[in-house]
Amino acid sequence: MKLDRRTWFVILLLMALAALPLVATLAGQEFQIAQFRRILIFAIAAVSLDLILGYGGMVCFGHAAFFGVGAYVVAILNWHAGREVPLIGTWMGTNNVLVTWTAAVLVSGGAAFLIGLVSLRTTGIYFIMITLAFAQMIYFFFVSLRAYGGDDGLRFDGDTVAFGLIDTQDDAAFYYLVLAVLCGVLYAGRRMVNSRFGMVVQACRENERRMKALGFPTARYKLAAFAIAGATAGLAGALFAAHESYISPSIMHWTRSGDLIVMVVLGGMGTLFGPVVGALAFLFLEKTLPDYTEHWMVVFGPILLLLVLFARRGIFGWFLPKEERDGGSH
């Protein structure tokens, strides 16, 4: 079987990520495992944003809120279980990840559903602003939530065993769990964007008016895509909470939503795998550029600008077949 450049690139990068804990351990740099685990968690969030931003043409400027909601759900449930403070009635919360992570997905998906219900009545710049506004409301809600630390955030003792198999205190084991979730999200996302549902969402991006004239009730498909993206971001948030054992409203600050958009654009919109590359590149640059200058944004800004101007499909676009490189909207 002859593989194209894109497939080679995906395989090699995933293999490199799989080998990372081993290499880091051999090099005596175990701390890198947790560093990269954090990057992979943001990669999952970026992939979820690409579902609506790249494929659906919905520029959501509040995606970090869904990430944050997922993280807070896990943190709050764990905090109650740890302190043995009743949450609802006599229920003390739980640190069973099966429950906490599922709850994170459902609550963030539900929040995305409600926010989408209102936001998707608008398009273009209004959609950007209204999603930003909702995200800010959620941000300030958690800032003012004194019971759970408010501005200072919430520290908790998470469950140390995920699914009775994986010790989340074991850096490498938890790393592989995150990598597996990322691969699962990429695979399911790939199936979805090529399914009937995914085709409808992409066609809505291309020409929603035409879709309505064909008889598609476009609003409900876009809303479903929005909720799915929000739920997936919530899953990433749940992993992030477990990763940090600490959560604060700063992770859903509006600049975080901007970072996610940058990751998607930098890596390649509408490619699913591109945002993984984008997350790696963005978080790497964010870490290393400040070593050279505190005004690193001055360097990073033009890099991003050049990419948007000359590589419409971002970094990953270089590895795509020619006809897909400029695909999407013209």
Partner 1 sequence: MAAATEALLAVEGLVKRFGGLTATDNVCLDIRKGEIHAIIGPNGAGKTTLVAQLAGEVAPNGGTIRFSGRDVTRLPVDARARLGIARSYQITSVFRAFTALDNVAMAVQATDGHSFRFWRAARNESALRDPARAILERVGLGARTDVRAVNLAHGEQRQLEIAMALATRPSLLLLDEPMAGMGKDESERMTRLLARLKGEETILLVEHDMDVVFALADRITVLVYGRVIASDVPEAIRANPEVRAAYLGEGDA
Binding stretches for partner 1 (CB under 8 A): 191-192, 194-200, 202-203, 206-207, 209-218, 221, 224, 323, 327-330
Q: Under DSSP, is residue 224 helix (H, G, I), strand (E, B) or coil?
A: helix
Q: How far is the CB of 209 from partner 1 (least distance, A)?
A: 7
Q: What is the CA radius of gyration of the chain?
A: 20
Q: How far is the CB of 218 from partner 1 (least distance, A)?
A: 7
CA–CA distances in Å: residue 276 to residues 26, 38, 317: 25, 12, 13
Between 83 and 212, CB nearer to partner 1 = 212
Token readout for 215 is 């008889």
Q: How far is the CB of 30 from partner 1 (least distance, A)?
A: 39
Q: How far is the CB of 11 from partner 1 (least distance, A)?
A: 21
Between 59 and 224, CB nearer to partner 1 = 224
- Judged on CB neighbours under 10 Å (0-12, 13-18, 19+), 31 is exposed
Between 197 and 318, CB nearer to partner 1 = 197
Q: How far is the CB of 215 from partner 1 (least distance, A)?
A: 3
Cα–Cα nearest to 242, from 68, 40, 74:
74
DSSP per-residue string spanning 128-181: HHHHHHHHHHHHHHHHT-GGGTGGG-EE----SEETTTEETTSHHHHHHHHHHH
Between 84 and 323, CB nearer to partner 1 = 323
Q: How far is the CB of 205 from partner 1 (least distance, A)?
A: 9
Between 202 and 257, CB nearer to partner 1 = 202
Token readout for 309 is 């101007």
Between 164 and 217, CB nearer to partner 1 = 217
